[in-house]
A and B are shown apart, each in its own frame.
Chain A
Amino acid sequence: DSGVTQTPKHLITATGQRVTLRCSPRSGDLSVYWYQQSLDQGLQFLIQYYNGEERAKGNILERFSAQQFPDLHSELNLSSLELGDSALYFCASSVGQTTDTQYFGPGTRLTVL
């Protein structure tokens, strides 16, 4: 158990819908990262927040957004969902902003029908 929690574990929804994925980092960690794992793209970095502020952006679509709250938990919002958004979404956390070891949560499996 890494100490990073994610909810829900599974999510099934329809095209065009909007969903919110939630992540709680390990105690003491200030950074939260979101990654997407899909069969065709592999594991890709989406976005990082550090202590409430956006720190880095990767291959995140404009339909996706994220935020980190004062209690340091983070939410990833996915809107206007398409079939291709079906994937495993991981959250990771680390102590600092850069080059700190990242610990991953169990992931949320999103299926868009």
Chain B
Amino acid sequence: SQTIHQWPATLVQPVGSPLSLECTVEGTSNPNLYWYRQAAGRGLQLLFYSVGIGQISSEVPQNLSASRPQDRQFILSSKKLLLSDSGFYLCAWSVRRGERDTDTQYFGPGTRLTVL
């Protein structure tokens, strides 16, 4: 069966510090991968998605970036964190089959980031 991992689970960082959040998927190959952010009391906002190694699409202009160095690894980074980067970050994956992406996204346990 497929599983998705995220770490760290929680993180407290000062303003201006760098960030690296990691997401890995097991039990599948060539998945679509996604990074979402959920601010307090709000819904989910898609930040980045990737359909393959080295292929990253950004949905929201910001000081965050994403990379996919391996097929099942997705990393969210920042060189300098802002207060507004605080939130709950969720990674998700979905299966790709032929010309039609499968529809369902499965989420990881998330990382709670607090920027002070």
**A associates with B:** no
B residues with CB within 8 A of A:
none
A residues with CB within 8 A of B:
none
